[in-house]
Amino acid sequence: MTRIANRSKREYRSALRQQQAEATRVRILDATIRLLADGASSISIPAVAGEAGVSVPTIYRHFSTKDELLAAVYPHVARRFGFDQVADPQELDEFRPAMRDYLARFAALDGPTRAVWGSTAVDETRRLTFPRRVERLRRLADGIDPPLSRRDRDRITRLLVVLTASSSLRLWLDFLGSTIDEAADDLDWAVRAAVASAREATTR
């Protein structure tokens, strides 16, 4: 009986420690976002520790390097605002609904996070996640029916990368003043126009 009680106590403490560790990790990532939103061109571990109110060793318990910390910013924001719940479009007809969902979530970002998400301050983070993003968009270009030439699919992939970049979405919503539906329509039109142009070129 004592053994069972002790085991339950250990499990409870372990769960509590895990919750505390996750809360600290979130605090560190939120502090990183605030520093990036302030336009900090170079993030340092001591600066993040000071902003988060934790020690430098605490940062390194959660992130072994600065690159690892920066690479965790996008996934952190994606989880918080549900970007990771937007299904990757597998065909052209799924592109507009997916982009509308993504744009709606982008519009819901708070000020500091939105500034970071669409800024050049996190270029290093983008570089770390870029190959995976290109591959996801390449699957959409490869799924266009009837199939385009390899050259045109590569062009469409590059176009998709540019059009769906956070900085591009921020231009549509914050600078052009487009509504979510207008931006989604523009994105869909641009991609379909490029696909139609590629098809027309092959029939000449």
**What pLDDT digit, counting tens, does each position of 53-85 carry?**
999 999 999 999 988 898 888 788 888 888 888
User: In the predicted model, what is the mean pLDDT of residues 134-138?
Assistant: 94
Tell me the average pLDDT of the chain.
86
Using a CB cutoff of 8 Å and minimum separation of 24, what contacts does 92-99 make? 92/140, 92/143, 92/144, 92/191, 92/192, 92/195, 95/140, 95/187, 95/188, 95/191, 96/184, 96/185, 96/187, 96/188, 99/164, 99/183, 99/184, 99/187, 99/188
- pLDDT for 143-182, tens place per residue? 999 999 999 999 999 999 999 988 888 889 989 999 999 9
pLDDT reported for residue 10: 56
Given a cut of 80, whether residue 203 has pLDDT beyond it is no
Answering whether pTM is above 0.75, one says no
Query: Contact at 8 Å (CB) between 59 and 49?
Result: yes
Per-residue H/E/C for 65-95: CHHHHHHCHHHHHHHHHCHHHCCCCCCHHHH
Instruction: Answer with the residue of higher pLDDT: 16 or 122.
Output: 16
- Tens of pLDDT, residue by residue over 82-111, are 888 888 899 999 999 999 999 999 888 877
Residue 199's identity, in one-letter code, is: R
Residue 38 has pLDDT above 90, yes or no: no
Tally DSSP H helices, then E strands, for the chain.
11, 0
Q: What pLDDT shows up at residue 110?
A: 79
**What percentage of residues in the chain have a pLDDT greater than 70?**
86
Reported confidence tier of residue 40, pLDDT bands at 50, 70, 90: low
